[in-house]
Amino acid sequence: MARLDDRSTRRDRFHKKAKKEGFLARAVYKLEEIDTKHQVLHAGDRVLDLGCAPGSWLQYARGVVGESGMLVGLDRGPLQKPPPGARIVVGDVATIAVSELLGELPAFDVVLSDMAPDTTGIRQLDQARSEVLFERALEIAMTTLAPGGNFVGKLFQGPDFKRLTEVVRSKFGAMKIAKPASSRQISIEQYVVGKGFRAERSGER
């Protein structure tokens, strides 16, 4: 019972903090910690946020990239409170055209993904679905990132965790694994950070 109480306290603390500071969700503190440690976002960046609802990651990104930065978010439905200046694309990440995400932009400097499957409680199934979402996010990142760009993607620990992180390592100058303090300790979620995208065919951009 003590462990359950600890989780509730942790959840309440970050939830209350987000509400007090005007953020749409407690998940903002995961990105804040990752960015503080790994410097994935910079002023003026063009940012794509996959699975962006309810919008707290876009809120945080706006604070870092400033008014000169460009924000694009994708989710299955419209946001109730989209951050100012963000272009929200409604669609399915599995089928969305990359051209629709880019719009008039030639490339993104950062691709973020906090996507997670609708969990079933069946560990192996949830892991497999997370891996599919992560692979798709990474595919979009490798298609849309400018040379030297950065990537952050959520991935549940499972059978393909090592394989997928090695793919990131092979495509970026540096790969790190992050477990933010605001993630519940029993959660199998991890965040894979790729910095310095190695574009294979720069002529595409």
Q: Which residues of the chain have pLDDT under 50?
A: 1-10, 21, 24, 202-205
Tokens, residue 145: 């990132």
Domains of the chain by range and CATH?
27-204 (3.40.50.150)
Q: What is the pLDDT of residues 164-194, one digit of tens each?
A: 999 999 999 999 999 988 776 667 899 999 9
pLDDT of residue 12: 58
pLDDT of residue 205: 37
pLDDT of residue 188: 86
Q: What is the pLDDT of residues 31-57, one digit of tens each?
A: 999 999 999 999 999 999 999 999 999
Residues marked active site are found at 154
